[in-house]
A and B are shown apart, each in its own frame.
Chain A
Amino acid sequence: MSIISSGSVLERNISEIISKKFQTDFQVVKLRVTEVDKQSLDKSRFVVTLGSEAAELVSNIQTKSIVINSLISTANNLNNNSGCFSDCYSIFINQPVRRYLALFKNIFSSSHRLVFLKSENNTKMARQVLNLSNQFGIKLKQVLIKDNENLSRELLNTFTVKDVLLALPDSHIYNSRTAKSIILTSYHADVPIISYSSSFARAGALIALYSSVENITDKTVSVIEKLISKGSSGQKEYYPDNFEVEVNAAVARSLNIHLKERSELKRIIK
């Protein structure tokens, strides 16, 4: 088994956990992206990539090994299965859209409307949000953001009473430069934000649903174990089974929103 990463602290930690888990089954080789070549990869039955840089590198090499791409996002076109030469699997860092909508339905009444900002980078996710909103019976307003310079004005022109903003990963829309204006504008309009990262919740979103290191590592290990025991699988894309919920209690209090306990929310969404 080869484990490829860019060498960040996070990826090294995950690499270590996976390595220890399977060291009795395989000879585990840990490589940085700069050390990888086709020959070394083809010697491995399984190639595990951690992060988008490693995933992209391996897809270009076109190894015959079974590839498990972990720590990649569904947004920003980081799903590299389209470049897969043999048998490839993806374990996404972000949570499925379905869970966010379940969270929304559980917290807010049917009179609330979900607002979703889409860009040309996340059309697939936008379609998922639209389809699932129809399925769940959720009122939805999608706004196409072409130019993120005047996000505040776009939001003000969109927001009405009882709106909730659903923020899903899209670096064109949500980044450290735009976060302040999005959070301030939403807050002043009494529009709470359901977000995808704990940092976003700490910054001022009402609640975040996200995958922790442990969630992703567990899922990666579980997929490998399944491939070992049952062989190739028809399902190629996986989300972590478990997830974390973080609530910004101060924002909830300020907006007079009453939330269930975190554990109860997790149980209901799951």
Chain B
Amino acid sequence: MFFMKNKNFTLLAYAALTLPFIHPVSADLNADVMAVEDELFGEFPVVLTATRLKQSKSHSPIATTIIDREMIEASGFTEIVDLLRLAPGMLVNYDSGHIGAAGYQFLFDRYRVRFQVLVDGMSVYTPLQGEMPWTQLGIAVDDIERIEVIRGPSSSSYGPNAMTGVVSIITRHSVLDKGMKFKANQGVNGRSEQFFTAGGNSGTFDYKVTLAGREDQGFEGRYDNKDLALINFRGDYQATKNDTLTIGFSHNSGTYGEDASDGLNDAMPEHNKEVKYTSFRTRWIHNFSSTESLNIHYYRQLYTDINAYIGDYSADGYGDVPTNEGLKTIRDNLELSYSTSSDKLSLNLGALYRRDNTLATEYLKDVDRDVDTKQVFLNTEFRINSSNTINLNLLYDDNITAGKTLSPRVALNHHFSNNHTLRVSYAEATRSPFIFEEYTNRSVYVPLTDKSYRIWQDLSDLTPEKIKTVEVGYIGMLNNNKTEIDIRGYHNKITDLISPKWSYTIDGSGTVTDPGGFKQGDAFDVTGFEATLKHKFSSATFILNYANAKIDTTRLVFAEEVDLVTGSPEDTISLLYIQNFNNDLTGSLGYYYTGSYQQLCCEILQAPRNRLDLVLSKSFQWSGHKSQLKLVLQNVTDEEISTRLYNNYHRQGYISFSIEL
């Protein structure tokens, strides 16, 4: 019914369905010229299509970190957000035991994530305040094949909100996981997790389903436990040699403890909230040939956060105030893209239509808000000669909160040799105001006074935040390609920053005289350096990441210097060492250092953090079934630092047992 009413969706869908049929048939499909071996040995469906092939790092216009399965399993992390520690420049912190937050180069609070997060191409940030529901995603860590962290402004390929970068999570193809597997994690802090995976096929339809239950007690001294269940289904159907259809469904439902730590909000009592996340997606890829394909992707997401409680504002003279911080969002997205490549040129051209519908009782005063987004994008890679590649990317976006924006990127990759590449690039990106920023209207009703107070209001007409970046990068492969060096230096100019004004004033007559809201106009620069050293020994892997970032606040208008300059630690380091002792025994060591930077709750600095994790896993046969026992110790040195959020994990760990049935 939605599609019938919405012309844009109808037109785009019509174009998508008819386009393949007006394209000339490739000569590859002509049986008369088929090579002998194709007939006698069988024809294979095209697997590595133009859309599926990753761009090699030496040809990529931007620095990219790949967190692969080996790294994911060796890290011992069970929260998806923690995996981002394995990319240079990424900051990970926790607002509570179940609310993780991540930022690239800087991290001010848990909202306004200034990078795009995709799960199999689905954008998963919540449109109200740009929060990333890491714990509520409908996938388990074991469902992930790899994570691509694109470090740098990427609106030219991924649209607004890919302001500082992109985290693209790619789940495992269902053909790779056949049979049944059961896994259980049991650890301190009340951690108890169970996972069941079943994969199979019916003809050319491969499928996989994951069921999981997860619970833990959160941080010590906090009321921030979680108890959730999720289901994730993926099906891949090879309809013809040249047509693939992928469908996915996921649902995550959980109960979470909520509290306020250390006087940050004395009015909020400990209480539980419920969060549900559901997504459905379908993707059709038609290959005209191995170098030319059409991709149509549709997905729908529903996110419901039921979070209501009675706030105690007696100290301020308002008594009990019913508070509802819940929200409901529905996202519909339809994307169409065409890819082709030849010896000299690779091209990806596409369009996207998205509608975000948000209802938030308190934050939007019960008004149902729709944000429609239309995008057209073009990505090209010109291989001028064997030594030089130019990438040109451009994206045009039109949405209600930001208006029309154009985001370009140009990059030149010069290959000194097959193993050494220098990259120079310039990019511009934007972040559209989120729904709450654009339609700020937070009202609370106070029974004691029988009045409603608009404590947060629209303070100004907002425009998109902007970033301009110049970067120089180097990719080197040494020691017969066993050693990889990836270096990046950059300078970002960020302008039109949207900053929250949290405080509000109510005068004696009950009028909100100085409401909270969002202001715009601040600007700051970030200059930084990132490096990755990766070396593969014969039976071990070593990965070292380092990042240094400095925020220059000389162009501030509204914010205090301390509000921003402390948002980035000067140095971060991550080290992952993986040792295969023999075919059955693997050990790994993870070390993570984050320099001093502000806490998520406030501008108060937290001390530098050091964290050491150890993982040992042993594979064996148990009653004829392949099994694995894993011991994970986290924060082995038991370092604890003082924070208002009490977000310290003591030395902890868990045991994991898995068996393939």
A positions within 8 Å CB-CB of B:
8-10, 51, 71, 73, 93-94, 109, 111, 149-150, 152, 157, 160-162, 169, 171, 174-177, 179-181, 183-185, 187-188, 196-204, 210-213, 216, 244, 248-251, 253-256, 258
A250 and B36 contact, CB distance less than 8 A: no
C-alpha gap A256/B475 in the complex (Å): 12
Which residues of chain A have C-beta atoms less than 8 A from B57's C-beta?
256
B37 and A250 contact, CB distance less than 8 A: no
B609 at the interface (CB under 8 A from A): no
C-alpha gap A9/B34 in the complex (Å): 10
Contact A204 to B41, CB < 8 A, known contacts A157-B583, A162-B481: no
Name the contact of A248 in the complex, choosing from B40, B145, B290, B346 (C-beta under 8 A).
B290
Contact A179 to B178, CB < 8 A, known contacts A9-B31, A210-B35, A254-B55: no
C-alpha gap A73/B44 in the complex (Å): 18
C-alpha gap A180/B481 in the complex (Å): 27
Name the contact of A176 in the complex, choosing from B44, B173, B418 (C-beta under 8 A).
B44
B58 and A187 contact, CB distance less than 8 A: no
Residue from A73, A183, A196, A251 having most chain B Cβ neighbours under 10 A: A183
Contact A199 to B44, CB < 8 A, known contacts A71-B36, A161-B536, A184-B176: yes
Contact A175 to B42, CB < 8 A, known contacts A149-B178, A184-B175, A254-B54: yes
- Give a binary string over B238-257; 1 marks a CB under 8 Å from any A CB, 0 the rest: 10000000000000000000
Name the contact of B37 in the complex, choosing from A180, A188, A199 (C-beta under 8 A).
A199
A51 and B40 contact, CB distance less than 8 A: yes
Contact A152 to B176, CB < 8 A, known contacts A211-B37, A256-B56: yes
A249 and B343 contact, CB distance less than 8 A: yes
B480 at the interface (CB under 8 A from A): yes
Which residues of chain A have C-beta atoms less than 8 A from B346's C-beta?
250
Which B-chain residue is minimally distant from A210 (CB atoms)? B37
Which residues of chain A have C-beta atoms less than 8 A from B48's C-beta?
183, 187, 203-204, 248, 250-251, 254
C-alpha gap A232/B583 in the complex (Å): 54
- Give a binary string over B20-55; 1 marks a CB under 8 Å from any A CB, 0 the rest: 000000001001101111111111111110100111
Tell me how far the C-beta of A114 lies from the nearest C-beta in chain B, rounded to whole angstroms. 16
C-alpha gap A124/B173 in the complex (Å): 34
C-alpha gap A94/B58 in the complex (Å): 36
B34 and A10 contact, CB distance less than 8 A: yes
Name the contact of A184 in the complex, choosing from B38, B173, B178 (C-beta under 8 A).
B173
C-alpha gap A114/B385 in the complex (Å): 31
Interface residues of B in 492-535 (CB under 8 A from A): none
A199 and B179 contact, CB distance less than 8 A: no
C-alpha gap A105/B294 in the complex (Å): 37
A251 and B36 contact, CB distance less than 8 A: no
A203 and B45 contact, CB distance less than 8 A: yes
7 contacts between A and B (CB under 8 A): A180-B175, A181-B173, A198-B35, A202-B28, A204-B290, A244-B35, A250-B53
B46 and A202 contact, CB distance less than 8 A: yes
C-alpha gap A227/B262 in the complex (Å): 96
A202 and B290 contact, CB distance less than 8 A: yes
A185 and B176 contact, CB distance less than 8 A: yes
Which A-chain residue is minimally distant from B389 (CB atoms)? A253
Residue from B48, B145, B238 having most chain A Cβ neighbours under 10 A: B48
Which B-chain residue is minimally distant from A200 (CB atoms)? B44
Contact A171 to B35, CB < 8 A, known contacts A184-B176, A248-B290: no
Contact A177 to B204, CB < 8 A, known contacts A250-B291, A254-B55: yes
B482 at the interface (CB under 8 A from A): yes
Contact A212 to B36, CB < 8 A, known contacts A188-B145, A253-B59, A256-B418: yes
Residue from B53, B146, B418, B538 having most chain A Cβ neighbours under 10 A: B53
B41 and A196 contact, CB distance less than 8 A: yes
**Interface pairs A-B: 5 shortest CB-CB:** A204-B48, A203-B44, A202-B290, A161-B536, A197-B37
A199 and B43 contact, CB distance less than 8 A: yes
Which B-chain residue is minimally distant from A157 (CB atoms)? B583
Which residues of chain B have C-beta atoms less than 8 A from A9's C-beta?
31-32
Contact A180 to B47, CB < 8 A, known contacts A171-B42, A202-B28, A250-B53: yes
B68 and A250 contact, CB distance less than 8 A: no
A179 and B290 contact, CB distance less than 8 A: no
Residue from A73, A181, A250 having most chain B Cβ neighbours under 10 A: A250
Contact A180 to B36, CB < 8 A, known contacts A9-B31, A202-B28: no
Tell me how far the C-beta of A83 lies from the nearest C-beta in chain B, rounded to whole angstroms. 20
B positions within 8 Å CB-CB of A:
28, 31-32, 34-48, 50, 53-59, 68-69, 145-146, 173, 175-179, 201, 204, 206, 238, 289-291, 341, 343, 346, 418, 477, 480-482, 536, 538, 583
Tell me how far the C-beta of B333 lies from the nearest C-beta in chain A, rounded to whole angstroms. 25
Known: A162-B480, A176-B44, A249-B343. 14 other contacts (CB 8 A): A73-B40, A109-B480, A149-B178, A176-B43, A176-B204, A180-B45, A180-B47, A184-B173, A184-B176, A187-B47, A199-B37, A199-B43, A204-B290, A216-B36
Tell me how far the C-beta of A268 lies from the nearest C-beta in chain B, rounded to whole angstroms. 18
Which residues of chain A have C-beta atoms less than 8 A from B583's C-beta?
157
Which A-chain residue is minimally distant from B480 (CB atoms)? A111
Which residues of chain A have C-beta atoms less than 8 A from B59's C-beta?
253, 256
Which residues of chain A have C-beta atoms less than 8 A from B56's C-beta?
253-256
B42 and A199 contact, CB distance less than 8 A: yes
Residue from B31, B34, B346 having most chain A Cβ neighbours under 10 A: B34
C-alpha gap A233/B30 in the complex (Å): 39
Name the contact of A93 in the complex, choosing from B37, B46, B177, B482 (C-beta under 8 A).
B37
Which A-chain residue is minimally distant from B417 (CB atoms)? A258
Tell me how far the C-beta of B388 lies from the nearest C-beta in chain A, rounded to whole angstroms. 14
Which residues of chain B have C-beta atoms less than 8 A from A152's C-beta?
175-178
Which residues of chain A have C-beta atoms less than 8 A from B39's C-beta?
8, 10
Which residues of chain B have C-beta atoms less than 8 A from A201's C-beta?
290
Tell me how far the C-beta of A141 lies from the nearest C-beta in chain B, rounded to whole angstroms. 13
C-alpha gap A51/B40 in the complex (Å): 9
Which A-chain residue is minimally distant from B58 (CB atoms)? A256
A188 and B36 contact, CB distance less than 8 A: no
Which B-chain residue is minimally distant from A156 (CB atoms)? B69
Name the contact of B418 in the complex, choosing from A161, A204, A244, A258 (C-beta under 8 A).
A258
C-alpha gap A198/B290 in the complex (Å): 11
A93 and B176 contact, CB distance less than 8 A: no
Name the contact of A204 in the complex, choosing from B42, B47, B177 (C-beta under 8 A).
B47
Which A-chain residue is minimally distant from B59 (CB atoms)? A253
Tell me how far the C-beta of B229 lies from the nearest C-beta in chain A, rounded to whole angstroms. 27
C-alpha gap A181/B172 in the complex (Å): 11
A199 and B175 contact, CB distance less than 8 A: no
Which B-chain residue is minimally distant from A152 (CB atoms)? B176
C-alpha gap A191/B56 in the complex (Å): 14
Which residues of chain B have C-beta atoms less than 8 A from A202's C-beta?
28, 44, 46, 289-290
Which residues of chain B have C-beta atoms less than 8 A from A8's C-beta?
39
Tell me how far the C-beta of A213 lies from the nearest C-beta in chain B, rounded to whole angstroms. 5
Which residues of chain B have C-beta atoms less than 8 A from A249's C-beta?
341, 343
A204 and B46 contact, CB distance less than 8 A: yes
Tell me how far the C-beta of A35 lies from the nearest C-beta in chain B, rounded to whole angstroms. 22
Which B-chain residue is minimally distant from A253 (CB atoms)? B56
B37 and A198 contact, CB distance less than 8 A: yes
C-alpha gap A188/B41 in the complex (Å): 25
A203 and B178 contact, CB distance less than 8 A: no
Which residues of chain B have C-beta atoms less than 8 A from A93's C-beta?
36-37, 40
Name the contact of A150 in the complex, choosing from B173, B179, B201, B480 (C-beta under 8 A).
B179
B35 and A203 contact, CB distance less than 8 A: no
Contact A188 to B68, CB < 8 A, known contacts A171-B42, A176-B44: yes
Which residues of chain A have C-beta atoms less than 8 A from B341's C-beta?
249-250
Which residues of chain B have C-beta atoms less than 8 A from A73's C-beta?
40-41
A203 and B47 contact, CB distance less than 8 A: yes
C-alpha gap A256/B47 in the complex (Å): 19
Tell me how far the C-beta of A2 lies from the nearest C-beta in chain B, rounded to whole angstroms. 21
Residue from B41, B46, B175, B343 having most chain A Cβ neighbours under 10 A: B41
Which residues of chain B have C-beta atoms less than 8 A from A203's C-beta?
44-48, 290
Which B-chain residue is minimally distant from A178 (CB atoms)? B175
B36 and A181 contact, CB distance less than 8 A: no
C-alpha gap A11/B173 in the complex (Å): 38
